[in-house]
Chains A and B, each alone.
Chain A
Amino acid sequence: MTCKTTLTAMAMIAAFAAPALAQSTSTLDTVKERGRLICGSSQGTPGFGAPDDNGYWRGLDVETCRAVAVAVLDDKDAVDFVPLSGQQRIPALQTGEIDMLPRTLTWTLQRDANGINFTTPNYYEFTGFMMPKSLGITSVEDMAGASVCVQTGSTTEVVVNDVSTKNDLDLQPVVFDNTTAGRQAFFSGRCDALITDAGALASVRATMADNPDDYVIFPATPYMDALTPAVRHGDDQWLDIVTWSIQAMIAAEAFGLTSENIDDYLDSDDPRIRRFLGTDPGNGAALGLSDDFAYRIVKSVGNYAEVYDRNVGMDSPLKLERGYNALFNDGGLMFPLAFQ
Chain B
Amino acid sequence: MQIALLGGLVLFVWWLAGNTHENLTERGIRTGFDYLWRPARFPISESIVRYDASDSFFWAYVVGLANTLWLSFLSILFATLLGLVVGLSRRSAHPLLSRFAGTYVTVLRNVPLIVQLLFWYAIATSLFPVPREALNPLPGVFLSIRGVYAPALTLGPGASMLLIVAAFLMVIAIVAGFKVSAGKPLPAKAASVGLFLCVWVVAIVWLSGMLGHPVGLEAPALKGLNFRGGMVLSPEFAAIITGLTIYTSAFIGEIIRGGIDAVEKGQWEGARALGLSERHIMFRIILPQALRIIVPPMTSQYLSTVKNTTLAVAVGYPELGLVVNTVINQTGQAIESILIMLAVFLSISLSVSAFMNWYNARVALVVR
Closest B residue, CB atoms, query A193: B225
| Complex: A9 Cα to B114 Cα, angstroms | 21
Out of A150, A181, A190, which one reaches B43, CB within 8 Å?
Answer: A150
| Complex: A276 Cα to B362 Cα, angstroms | 82
Given known pairs A18-B19, A135-B225, A161-B53, the reply for A173 and B332 (CB within 8 Å) is no
Contact A2 B316 (CB under 8 A): no
Residues of chain B within 8 A (CB-CB) of A58 are: none
Indicate whether B304 reaches chain A with its CB closer than 8 angstroms: no
Closest B residue, CB atoms, query A131: B225
Residues of chain A within 8 A (CB-CB) of B42 are: 157-158, 161
Within 8 A of B (CB), among A1-28: 1-3, 5-6, 8-10, 12-13, 15-20, 23
Given known pairs A5-B325, A175-B44, the reply for A12 and B28 (CB within 8 Å) is no
Contact B19 A20 (CB under 8 A): yes
Q: Interface stretch among A83-91, A199-207, A289-297?
A: A83-91
| Complex: A185 Cα to B236 Cα, angstroms | 10
Residues of chain A within 8 A (CB-CB) of B22 are: 20
Out of B28, B41, B125, which one reaches A234, CB within 8 Å?
Answer: B28
Out of B125, B311, B326, which one reaches A1, CB within 8 Å?
Answer: B311
Contact bitstring B174-216, A, C-beta under 8 A = 1, else 0? 0000000000000000000000000000000000000000000
Contact A2 B310 (CB under 8 A): yes
| Complex: A182 Cα to B315 Cα, angstroms | 8
Interface size class of A (residues with CB under 8 A): 35 or more
Contact bitstring A53-90, B, C-beta under 8 A = 1, else 0? 00000000000000000000000000000000011001
Out of A143, A145, A188, which one reaches B145, CB within 8 Å?
Answer: A188
Contact B329 A1 (CB under 8 A): no
Given known pairs A157-B330, A190-B145, the reply for A185 and B23 (CB within 8 Å) is no
Given known pairs A16-B20, A165-B53, A181-B316, the reply for A1 and B114 (CB within 8 Å) is yes
Contact bitstring B288-324, A, C-beta under 8 A = 1, else 0? 0000000000000000000000110111101001101
Contact B41 A161 (CB under 8 A): yes
Residues of chain B within 8 A (CB-CB) of A143 are: 225
Indicate whether A222 reaches chain B with its CB closer than 8 angstroms: no
| Complex: A297 Cα to B331 Cα, angstroms | 36
| Complex: A9 Cα to B340 Cα, angstroms | 12
Contact A153 B29 (CB under 8 A): no
CB A67 to nearest CB in B, in angstroms, measures 26
Closest A residue, CB atoms, query B16: A17
Residues of chain B within 8 A (CB-CB) of A94 are: 27, 29
Residues of chain B within 8 A (CB-CB) of A18 are: 19, 23
Indicate whether A113 reaches chain B with its CB closer than 8 angstroms: yes
Indicate whether B335 reaches chain A with its CB closer than 8 angstroms: yes
Contact bitstring A116-155, B, C-beta under 8 A = 1, else 0? 0000000000000000000100000001111100101110
Given known pairs A12-B334, A86-B329, A145-B228, the reply for A115 and B28 (CB within 8 Å) is yes
Indicate whether B30 reaches chain A with its CB closer than 8 angstroms: yes
Residues of chain B within 8 A (CB-CB) of A181 are: 118, 121, 314-316
Given known pairs A10-B338, A86-B329, A234-B26, the reply for A177 and B314 (CB within 8 Å) is yes
Closest B residue, CB atoms, query A150: B43
Additional A-B contacts beyond A135-B225, A152-B326 (6; CB < 8 A): A87-B325, A144-B225, A164-B43, A177-B314, A188-B122, A234-B26
Question: What are 13 pairs between A and B in contact, CB < 8 Å?
Answer: A8-B334, A87-B329, A91-B328, A94-B29, A110-B331, A158-B41, A160-B43, A165-B53, A171-B43, A174-B236, A177-B322, A189-B145, A234-B27
> What 9 A-B pairs come out closest when comparing CB atoms?
A115-B29, A177-B313, A145-B224, A173-B43, A114-B332, A87-B329, A2-B321, A157-B42, A9-B338
